[in-house]
Amino acid sequence: MRKNIVAGNWKMNLGYEDGLSLFSEIVNMVKDEVVGNQEIVVCSPFIHLSSLSKLSNTVTNVHVGAQNMHQAESGAYTGEISGAQLKSVGVTHVILGHSERRAYFGETNALLAEKVNASLKHGLKPIFCIGETKEERESGEFFAVLKQQLQEGVFHLSEEEFKNVIIAYEPVWAIGTGLTASPEQAQEVHAYIREEIAKQYTQAIADDTSILYGGSANPGNAQSLFSQKDIDGGLIGGASLKSRDFIEIVKVFNS
């Protein structure tokens, strides 16, 4: 049975002390207010990871993720970080293929496939992001775009390897814009993604794959989004920088 997951992406925000303070608030709120089986993943800048990992040990359903990693094991890659290094400080997840990495740093599906391989080699669960731009949405090409991102980014994996992958659908036109796909629009795409996974692997694997929505989810719209059949949680940007907002999103899955 697939998991409900709420992942926070802090992006390039928060100094060291502010990050520790926010994470401590989140951990304490999880202990006091979260009563479901949902998993929480906080993806912080690299400077926080080691300390957050130690703090996360006090609660079983809170994990720490990185926002990116290099595909190589080690070497002369100034400014980069490897899967082995992330694993060494207790990181369990890593965001790969975020639209900002694709747009600003030219990351291709082929490169991301290498990063996915490297993450799995080190026991890191990739949160693999796919999504369409405003132009691709309006032209009606978005299903083809999503299919290509899946095929070239993760569908080379074996069934056993793919079982460790989390998919995040992020309509690029809804990131940081305040726009949000309607619950019906988001559900349509999530159902399509699950169908493509079933075609590539099996229906059982598709049914067990967590697919997250990553387009400006907030406490006001999380309930309507997460109530959709094929939406298993969210990759949360701005709202993850406020502990109360983030926890209210997490609590949508309280049972």
Annotated binding site: 9-11, 176, 216, 237-238
Given the residues 98, 100, 107, 136, select the one marked as catalytic.
98
Residue 100: active-site member: no
Say how far apart CA 177 and CA 87 lie, in whole Å.
33
Taking a C-beta distance cutoff of 8 angstroms, is the pair 127, 79 a contact? no
**Nearest residue to 93 (alpha-carbon basis) of 127, 121, 48:** 127
Give the CB-side neighbour count of residue 250, counting CA atoms within 13 A: 29
Annotated binding site for substrate: 9-11, 176, 216, 237-238
Catalytic-labelled residue, pool 39, 170, 196, 248: 170
98 in active site: yes
C-alpha 181/C-alpha 167 separation (Å) is: 17
Strands 39-43 vs 166-169: parallel, antiparallel or unpaired: unpaired
Instruction: Please say whether the beta carbons of 130 and 167 come within 8 A.
Output: yes
Asked whether 61 and 84 are in contact (CB, 8 A), the reply is no
Positions marked active-site: 98, 170
